């Protein structure tokens, strides 16, 4: 497939001559030898297009088709219904790119929906400003930590252990690199943040608290109560945007930054990505916010137009002094979210959130009535909950899979023994919920 590799040997020689290097090896001479020696060639043979397609199809056939399974997988990436209009709109060639244009004002259509996306995020979170998206929920949370440190000038932050473990890992990595000090706070028997631990750790040098609600276990946190305890310190909430269809927005409880994973809004599960980070805050912190912002304005003739604002603080302009290293974004994913939200509307989103809540609670009740199973936490939950099982989760999930049911996530991977995280969306029918409970009973 050499036709897809643009540089001919002549091209390479010309480029090397232009920069004064005699060979490719010399060009990369500053890469340490031990790194190069560790690097093994991929062992790819040149193949024809026909052969490549055949090989890739063979590999792809090893995947399982999720449509043939009843799925209760969640943990941050959920199986929600996506109406056909989403795929139709995002597939239009005017929109079909993952990137925000670098000379954006010629792309008024793109800026228009970015502005709409930001408006949706503000309305959902109850905040005043939102950016035009970030990589994912995890990096959005880590960037929120950075921003809180920029605004408060403080270096010590508290992190709830109820937050998705993968998010915490990303946050810890960012904090380590920026010399920020993190203290992790445990959760209590309800599955909510342990208030006593918070009171103990909440010293005057603490810049803020990071929580997730609904948290990794699906349990809704007492955002209002936590903000009261925190006072001036920042409250950073990672929220599931669909839950905000029925729950009071964190902004109304005084949250300072609200972030979240936007995959649930019109983006498929896709084996774990691409995802979509949501980021919203208060107007007064606008210039400390990472990312880009589409703004509405009027042109010389007084007609409504859109511009790209705030990007002047980004890496491609500010280099090392940028507010964040978010130099590209998830434009296509955020377009899908925008179309999805527009298709549902305010009432539609509320109904969808209610369906999630009711179905999840129906299933939880059925499972709780079974011998050998119990619901681990008694805190209020939205569409996800933890089931404690007497039998090992690994065997249960394996048996279910054999019956074409993806029963949830085995939490032993995350240090919680005998526990399965079960997610229910509007896509699950009453029959499927009953089937799941029946199968668990029979195992």
Partner 1 sequence: MAYPQEFRYTKEHEWAKSEDGRARVGITDYAQGELGDIVYVELPTEGQEVKQGESFITVESVKAVSDVYAPVSGRVLEVNHELEDKPELVNRSPHDQGWMALIEMADPEELESLMSAEEYEKFIEQGEE
Segment interacting with partner 1 (CB under 8 A) among 200-208, 271-279, 310-318, 372-380? 310-318
- For partner 1, which stretch binds (CB under 8 A), given 159-167, 212-220, 225-233, 317-325? 317-325
Task: Determine which residue in the list 195, 318, 350, 439 makes contact with partner 1, applying CB under 8 A.
Answer: 318
Q: Does 312 bind partner 1 (CB under 8 A)?
A: yes
**Least distance (Å) from partner 1 to the CB of residue 308?**
10
Angle at 205 between CA 200 and CA 210, to 5 degrees: 70
Rounded to the nearest whole angstrom, what is the least distance from the CB of residue 307 to partner 1 in the complex? 8
Helices (H), 153-290: 165-177, 195-201, 223-230
Q: Bridge partners of 384? A: 423
- Of 1, 24, 85, 317, the one binding partner 1 (CB under 8 A) is 317
Q: Least distance in Å: CB of 292 to partner 1?
A: 13
Q: Max Cα separation, the chain?
A: 76
What is the nearest approach in angstroms of partner 1 to the Cβ of residue 93? 29
Site size for partner 1, by CB under 8 A? 6
CB of 38 to partner 1, least distance (A): 40
Q: For partner 1, which stretch binds (CB under 8 A), given 206-214, 267-275, 315-323, 366-374?
A: 315-323
Rule CB under 8 A: choose which of 248, 287, 404, 430 binds partner 1.
287
In terms of CB distance, is 206 or 308 closer to partner 1? 308
When asked if residue 23 is in the footprint of partner 1 (CB under 8 A), the reply is no
Q: Which of 321, 413, 431, 442 binds partner 1 (CB under 8 A)?
A: 321
- Whichever of 100 and 334 has its CB closer to partner 1, that residue is 100
CB 67 within 8 A of CB 404: no
C-beta pairs of 111-117 under 8 Å, 24+ apart in sequence: 111/294, 111/306, 111/307, 111/308, 112/294, 112/306, 113/335, 113/338, 113/339, 114/292, 114/294, 114/306, 114/331, 114/334, 115/294, 115/295, 115/296, 115/306, 116/338, 116/342, 117/334, 117/335, 117/337, 117/338
Q: How far is the CB of 385 from partner 1 (least distance, A)?
A: 46
DSSP state of 330: -
Cβ partners under 8 Å of residue 139, min gap 6:
170, 277, 326
**Cβ of residue 104: shortest distance to partner 1, in angstroms?**
12
**Based on CB atoms, which residue is closest to partner 1, 101 or 372?**
101
Work out how close the CB of 309 gets to partner 1 at its nearest, in angstroms, rounded to a whole number: 9
- What are the E-state strand segments in 76-202? 129-130, 156-160, 181-185
Number of other residues whose CB lies within 10 A of the CB of residue 332? 18
* Distance between CA atoms of residues 149 and 156, nearest Å: 8
368 touching partner 1, by CB under 8 A? no
Task: Give the Cβ contact number of residue 190 at 10 Å.
Answer: 15
Q: Which is nearer to partner 1, 147 or 237 (CB)?
A: 147
Pick one of 78, 227, 313, 428: the residue that binds partner 1 (CB under 8 A).
Answer: 313
Instruction: For residues 212 and 240, give the distance between their C-alpha atoms in angstroms, rounded to a whole number.
Output: 8
Give the Cα separation of 201 and 347 in Å (integer). 41
Distance CA 324, CA 340 (A): 28
For residues 227 and 313, which CB has a smaller minimum distance to partner 1 in the complex?
313
Q: Applying CB under 8 A, which residues contact partner 1?
A: 287, 312-313, 317-318, 321
């Amino acid at each position: 497939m050499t036709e897809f590799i643009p540089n001919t040997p002549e091209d390479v020689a010309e480029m090397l001559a232009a920069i004064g290097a005699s060979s490719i090896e010399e060009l990369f001479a500053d890469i340490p030898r031990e790194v190069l020696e560790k690097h093994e060639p991929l062992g790819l043979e040149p193949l024809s297009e026909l052969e490549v397609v055949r090989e890739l199809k063979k590999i792809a056939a090893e995947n399982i088709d999720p449509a043939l399974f009843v799925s209760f997988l969640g943990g941050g990436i959920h199986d929600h219904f996506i109406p056909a209009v989403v795929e139709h709109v995002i597939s239009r060639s005017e929109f079909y790119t993952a990137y925000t244009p670098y000379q954006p004002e010629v792309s008024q259509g793109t800026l228009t929906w970015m502005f709409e996306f930001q408006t949706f995020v503000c309305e959902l979170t109850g905040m005043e400003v939102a950016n035009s998206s970030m990589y994912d929920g995890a990096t959005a949370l880590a960037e929120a930590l950075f921003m809180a440190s920029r605004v408060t000038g403080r270096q010590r932050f508290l992190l709830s252990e109820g937050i998705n473990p993968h998010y915490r890992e990303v946050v810890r990595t960012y904090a380590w690199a920026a010399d920020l000090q993190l203290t992790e706070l445990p959760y209590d028997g309800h599955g909510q943040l342990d208030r006593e631990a918070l009171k103990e750790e909440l010293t005057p040098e603490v810049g803020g608290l990071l929580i997730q609600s609904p948290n990794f276990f699906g349990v809704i946190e007492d955002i209002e109560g936590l903000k009261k305890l925190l006072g001036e310190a920042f409250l950073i909430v990672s929220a599931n945007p669909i839950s905000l269809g029925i729950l009071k927005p964190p902004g109304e409880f005084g949250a300072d930054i609200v972030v979240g994973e936007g995959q649930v809004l019109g983006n498929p599960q896709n084996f774990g990505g691409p995802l979509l980070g949501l980021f919203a805050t208060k107007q007064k912190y606008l210039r400390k916010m990472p990312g880009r912002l589409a703004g509405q304005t009027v042109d010389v003739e007084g007609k409504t137009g859109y511009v790209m604002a705030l990007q002047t603080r980004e890496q491609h302009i500010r280099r090392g002094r940028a507010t964040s290293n978010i130099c590209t974004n998830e434009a296509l994913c955020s377009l899908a979210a925008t179309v999805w939200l527009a298709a549902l509307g305010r009432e539609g989103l509320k109904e969808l959130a209610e369906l999630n809540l009711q179905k999840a609670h129906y299933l939880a009740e059925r499972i709780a009535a079974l011998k050998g199973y119990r619901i681990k936490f008694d805190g209020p939950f939205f569409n996800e909950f933890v089931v404690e099982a007497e039998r090992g989760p690994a065997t249960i999930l394996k048996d279910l899979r054999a019956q074409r049911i993806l029963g949830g996530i085995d939490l032993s991977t995350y240090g919680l023994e005998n526990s399965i995280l079960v997610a229910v969306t509007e896509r699950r029918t009453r029959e499927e919920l009953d089937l799941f409970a029946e199968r668990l009973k029979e195992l």
